[in-house]
Amino acid sequence: MKNRIQELRKMNKITQNELADAVDVTRQTIISLESGRYNASLFLAHKIAKFFQLTIEEIFIFDEEDD
């Protein structure tokens, strides 16, 4: 699933470590999310959306081909 995490993180001048700490995951998880190797759970997607004060849909781009 595509996402805007890296774009949002850079726009807000937030490091991968800072985001990871804020949503209680490892930096490696953030790297995997940003590279598309890992899809966030609904719980993690909600935490990331809350952190950026956006909706899940504004961050994660659902592509039916990913299904």
Q: Residue 36: inside a domain, yes or no?
A: yes
Amino acid at 7: E
Q: Residue 67: inside a domain, yes or no?
A: no
Residue 7's pLDDT is 98
Torsion of CA 5, 11, 13, 19, to 10 degrees: -20
Residues of the chain with pLDDT under 70: 65-67
Residue 17's pLDDT is 99
Q: How many domains does the chain have?
A: 1
Residue 57's pLDDT is 96
Q: Residue 10: inside a domain, yes or no?
A: yes
Q: Residue 16: inside a domain, yes or no?
A: yes
Structural domain range at position 28: 2-62
Q: Residue 48: inside a domain, yes or no?
A: yes
